[in-house]
Chains A and B, each alone.
Chain A
Amino acid sequence: MSAPLLETRNLMIRFGGVIAANDVSLKIEAGRNLAIIGPNGAGKTTFLNICTGWIKPKSGQVLFEGEDITPLPPRKIVRRGVARAFQIPQLFTEHTALENLLISAAAREGMRHPLRDLSRVPERAEMMHLLEMVNCADVAHRTVDELSEGQRKLIDIAVALALRPRLLLMDEPTSGVASSQKHKIMEILIRALAEARVTSVFVEHDMGIVGDYADEVAVWNAGNVQLRGTPTEILEHPDVIRDVIGEVA
């Protein structure tokens, strides 16, 4: 049997008196969209930070396609096929949306065209297509500072997708966006992920989004996975209704 796409084994980390990861063992299979839910401070973002190498666990392992990536810095993990999108979009604010994607493509290609103008690299058409996929082609030539939060979120995800990852970790992809636009963004996002054949893990607080777009849900509590199942199983579970949905509501 092949190894899961991502696996964590007994991850432990503590910040002062707070246990952010308490013996977290989790397997993520390829081709799924896994939502992570849980109360604030449960360790959801810490889990993403550990998986991408930003934070090193005190003990435990992170394996990507069977390879131990725990000691690697983020850039080396990214090169293995794990990309990240952030709660606050991390973009190059002096560049346009298209340039942000072209820079990502340049990083992926490893400087195959060292002196060619960035706007003329062969990946330009591919990046324009990616912008179309996330419904942002019409703002391709605007600097990202001029865009709405929703657009910046989508560009941030597109920048990650430009790396052609196999796994995308997203921290609250719809936070800071008007509730009327959340479903629109998720529809665009899930369609783009399916087209690019990317497995995703996303932290989310909106249970409507989780119910509609996740294939699987993991419930975090006190630094560990409390429950895991289909959206229907999880969102109707009395513990989740009491501890998570109750808090969100």
Chain B
Amino acid sequence: MSIHSDAGAMSRSPAEKETRMTAGTWLAIAGLVLLAAVPIFAPSLQLLVNLALAKGLAVLGVTVLLRAGQVSFGHALYFAVAAYAGAFLLAAWPGADLFVVLLAGALGAAVSGLLVGLFVVRYRGIFFGMLNLAFSMIFWSILEKFYHVTGGADGIRLPRPSVLGMEMGRHDFELVLFWLTLALVGGLGWFTLRWLASPVGQLFRTVKTNETRLEYLGVSPRRALLSGYLLSAVLCGVGGAIMGVAQGVVTPEYAWWIRSGEMVFIAVLGGAGSVPGAFIGALIYEFVRVFASAFAGDVWQMLLGGFLLVIILFAPGGVVGLFERVTRRGAAKGEEAA
């Protein structure tokens, strides 16, 4: 007599996951190398790619939360907090180092993430999403109304930071910023993957499936969610700080709800919950947005909306999910042929 059923297909074993991880790592390295060559082979796309990757880092923050089954409609808050932290630092200390500016941005996002997080992790689902939105809109109002401090709707212009004590011309600075962004994409993407696979990250992910069991493992579900919330705020912050420095100006629009919605849009487009998907989605989004707005005028939003509709209907795993499906089908056909 056996109590075991044979129902259900076998899941991927850790060894299989490991193989996929290795293949994924090589693909990620290839992608980063390809992107690193953009300033050499397609310099006109350098700024666009840089902005897309900065946005991708922020989307990664939203993606982290999706792993716990939570959607934030207000993560532009951390994007803006970090960008403004960098702007205030540069206003007070012109010529401050780029690394210090980015660090200040990340720190600002972490502190605000902790303060807001302590409150919002008490809620789930739509309440979680809308509370985040509320906090981001409060911050947007502050940025708009306290114009004598924040510059109001005009925002704050950022003087060019130094890099390791060196004053740089615009071209060299943009090049350094581009490669630094790429390094941060690789480093933070790798860290996020490690974190999600770690015991802390796995506990965070279980918020999505069973908080009762989590409590009965001796873990506070709120604290588990807070750990990921902090990471997501910092990732958004790094993206916002880079965006501010790259654009040379920060405005309240950084905290505007559409910016938060855009992050969720890109996360779904790339592959909800997928780390590489956050960057792939951001690159696709920015390219479609820029080229569609150049060639299709006011209908570019419609094109993007249609694109997202197709993704949700035919590839719920996003671009990354679609890619995995196609490669798996290809591999299965290859095995059949062999």
Contacts and interface: CB of A to CB of B under 8 A. Distances in A.
A84 B216 contact: yes
Interface string B2-42: 01110111111110010000000000000000000000000
Most buried by B among A74, A83, A90, A108: A90
A59 interface: no
A103 B3 contact: no
A115 B231 CA distance: 14
A114 B198 contact: yes
Contacts of A184: 1, 3
A116 B3 contact: no
Interface stretch (B217-225, B300-308, B325-333): B217-225
A163 interface: yes
A131 interface: no
Interface in B174-207: 194-195, 197-203, 205-206
Contacts of A138: 4
Contacts of A147: 5, 8
Interface residues of A, number: 57
Contact of A142 (B10, B208, B214, B220): B10
Interface in A134-188: 135-136, 138-139, 141-143, 145-148, 150-151, 154, 159-160, 163, 177, 180-181, 184-185, 188
Contacts of A181: 1, 3
Nearest to A123: B199
Interface in A71-85: 73-76, 78-79, 83-84
A113 B215 CA distance: 20
Nearest to A93: B209
A103 B14 contact: no
B310 to A, nearest CB: 26
B195 to A, nearest CB: 7
A7 interface: no
SS of B interface (majority) = loop
Given A90-B216, A92-B206, A106-B203, A117 B198 contact: yes
B67 to A, nearest CB: 10
A248 interface: no
Contacts, number: 125
A106 B199 contact: yes
Nearest to A90: B213
A83 B216 contact: yes
Interface string A219-236: 000000000000000000
Given A83-B216, A92-B210, A115-B198, 13 more contacts: A91-B210, A92-B206, A95-B202, A102-B202, A103-B203, A106-B200, A114-B200, A118-B199, A136-B4, A139-B4, A141-B14, A151-B3, A181-B1
20 contacts: A75-B215, A78-B215, A83-B216, A90-B210, A90-B212, A92-B206, A92-B209, A99-B202, A103-B202, A108-B218, A109-B199, A111-B199, A114-B199, A115-B195, A117-B197, A117-B198, A118-B199, A119-B197, A141-B12, A146-B11
Interface of B: 1, 3-5, 7-14, 17, 194-195, 197-203, 205-206, 208-210, 212-220
List the 6 closest A-B pairs by CB distance, nearest first.
A146-B8, A106-B199, A107-B217, A148-B5, A78-B218, A90-B213
